Chain A
Amino acid sequence: MSEPLLALNVSDKRFQSRPVIDGVQFDIRPGEIVSLLGPSGCGKSTLLRIVAGLDEDYRGTVRIEGAPPHLHSPEVGFIFQEPRLLPWLSVADNVGFDAGRGGGRHPRVRELLAEVGLADFADAYPKQLSGGMAQRAAIARGLFAQPSLLLLDEPFSAVDAFTRMRLQDLLLSLAARHGTTLLLVTHDIDEAAYLSDRIFVMAANPGRIAGEIEVGLPRPRDRAAAELARIQAQALALLHGEQLDYLDLRSELAARPRPVEPVDFASLSFAV
């Protein structure tokens, strides 16, 4: 077994004294595709933000190739739930954002756009793209810095089912071609089973790992294969093992997201 690319051990993470993650520990080896699967509120997106360096307020140790996570690590790319393209930049400039102003002229931008099938849209503005196209551009942006670990936060939850399947296949082929390790957060059992080498099923309140599933199926996988259905059933059983009483809303209410507050830019570590 090779050295882990990501060694994560988050013992405790709270939002205003409410525990959201309680003792989550796992390693990811280079080249693996790993999913964090769980209901909303299980802290899976929070874990991803910790790995990305967006959240530094936790107890535990996280090491990416031996170093603690930090923003703008060249090892780590991040893909949000929505494309989050900057609307005032052309698609090419968005993909090459990391290279500074005029980054769209970087030769790698052309290659990446061709790989995600957007070669003809280099000079278009994000408003001219469909949801799936915009997410493809976002994937290209995430790969631009050639990260060894790509983090994806429910990346395909905002697109329709057909686009989602195409994007999943695109993601797999890109990961294979670039040798990128993927850590994916999802609440879609089919998606987790189809994409992953390993699935960590998470439970909520507080967030913890309910079980680990080794998928161990060769690719390309058949979406209709019986083995895949068996993996899905296994994941479902782990999710339901959680014994959620759906009539008891107390925990749901406690987990309710805080009302939206205006952003305090002064408190952001990367703001002025």
Chain B
Amino acid sequence: MSKVSTLGAELEVGMNAGLNALPAADASERPRRRRLAAQFKGWVVPFALLVVWEAAVQLGWASAHLLPPPSELVITLSDLAASGELLRHIGVSSLRVLVGFAIGALLALVVGAAVGLSRELEAYLDPTFQALRAIPSLAWVPLLLLWLGIDEAPKITLIAIGAFFPVYLNLVAGIQNVDRKLVEVGGIFGVKGWRLIVRIFLPAALPNLLTGLRTGLSLAWMFLVAAELIAATRGLGYLLTDGREMARADLVIVAIIVLALLGKLSDSVLQLAERRLLVWRDVYDGKRS
């Protein structure tokens, strides 16, 4: 996690240096130091909690069986890692999320762009999507198992469904909110049809699209766990079920931590992309002007 945030900080510094040639940007040492200090402050509470947790178990206030202390979790984690089992679970789960998210996001990109650009299509399609969106994720599971068996297909489909809606909704909103005046600029320069979409609508809707992609990705992880909890022999969701069935809280907690890390890591990748793609945006950046 720390690695990720350092990477982000480095990128930001790099970008500031790039803009340094311009009078508008200034990259001095002070804000960076302040940011490092803020990051340090962020670690205080988790670290204190770990200490209290460890102490509580060692002193016998809590059962080590139900609440394994951090030291034991480290051992479980390293055992799982050493046997290669952890990496296999991570690999399987990540691949499912990646494929499902890619399918869902891609479909949402096409459908969202079409619905966003055409009032006619919106009138036909949007109510249906709004209704489908209201279905809770777990409600799909039995149906998908019935239709698609217990292989990869139902899991990928469920994840794709999870990723689809946030991307779709944000993209439609983004396209419909494109400034008419900018569309007119495209018109003045004779940009129409497909080129108008690529040169005006998509870049203008990009901030919304990226928000949608990030929400979609986090939902993809959520739906992954739903899919793997119920029917899987591999993956982090399976590790959760396995831990519960064997009454091994340490396995459950390790799986939770790994899921959190993977979710954060994948989100950071998109966040990096977002920062890089949206440098042009004129937004309040928290700096005093």
Physical interaction between A and B: yes
> Which residues on B sit within 8 Å (CB–CB) of A128?
22, 24-25
Spot the interface stretch: B143-151, B163-171, B175-183, B234-242: B175-183
Interface of A is mostly: loop
Among the stretches A10-18, A77-85, A194-202, A234-242, the one at the interface with B is: A77-85
Cβ contact of B206, chosen from A54, A88, A272, cutoff 8 A: A88
Answer whether A272 and B117 are a contact pair too, CB < 8 Å, given A71-B190, A72-B188, A88-B204.
Answer: yes
| Chain A residues within 8 Å of B8, by CB | none
Residues of B within 8 A of A88 (CB): 203-204, 206, 280
A71 to B189 alpha-carbon distance, docked (Å): 7
* B118 close to chain A: CB less than 8 A: yes
Which of A72, A84, A262 sits near B182, CB closer than 8 Å? Answer: A84
Residue of A nearest to B195 (CB): A100
Q: Which residues of A sit under 8 angstroms from B187, Cβ to Cβ?
A: 54, 71, 268, 270
Q: Which of B117, B185, B189, B282 contacts A271 (CB 8 A)?
A: B117
CB distance from B275 to the nearest CB of A (A): 14
Q: Could you tell me if B193 and A127 are in contact, using CB atoms closer than 8 angstroms?
A: no
Q: Mark B33-65, 1 if CB is under 8 A from A, else 0.
A: 000000000000000000000000000000000
A87–B280 contact, CB under 8 A?
A: yes
Kindly list chain B residues whose C-beta atoms are within 8 Å of the C-beta of A125.
279-280
A263 to B182 CA separation, bound complex (whole angstroms): 12
B193: A residues at CB distance < 8 A? 272
Instruction: Give the complex CA separation of A187 and B197 in angstroms.
Output: 35
Judge whether A270 and B191 touch: CB under 8 Å.
yes
Q: Which residues of B contact A272 (CB under 8 A)?
A: 117-118, 192-194, 196-197
A80 to B182, CA, bound (A): 11
Verify if B30 is at the interface (C-beta below 8 Å from A).
Answer: no
Interface residue B281 (Cβ < 8 Å from any Cβ of A): yes
Q: For residue A29, give the distance in angstroms from its CB to the closest CB of chain B.
A: 24
| Shortest Cβ distance from residue B259 to the other chain A in the assembled complex, whole angstroms | 35
- A124, B22: Cβ atoms under 8 Å? yes
A170 to B203, CA, bound (A): 32
Min CB–CB distance B176 → chain A (angstroms): 7
Given contacts A87-B281, A271-B196, contact A54 B184 (CB under 8 A): yes
**A248 cross-chain contacts in B, Cβ below 8 A:** none
Q: Is the CB of B183 within 8 A of A263?
A: yes
- Residue B119 interfacial (CB < 8 Å): yes
* A101-145 residues at the B interface, CB under 8 angstroms: 101, 121, 123-128
Neighbouring A residues of B197 by C-beta, 8 Å: 272
B residues 80-138 near A (Cβ < 8 Å) are 117-120
A71 and B203 contacting across the interface, CB-CB below 8 Å = no
Q: Does B186 contact A (CB under 8 A)?
A: yes
Contact partners of A263 in chain B: CB under 8 A = 180, 183
Assuming A86-B182, A124-B22, A272-B118, is B189 touching A97 (CB within 8 A)?
A: yes
A138–B74 alpha-carbon span in the complex (Å): 61
Q: Can you name 5 A-B pairs with beta carbons within 8 Å?
A: A88-B280, A125-B279, A263-B183, A266-B120, A272-B197
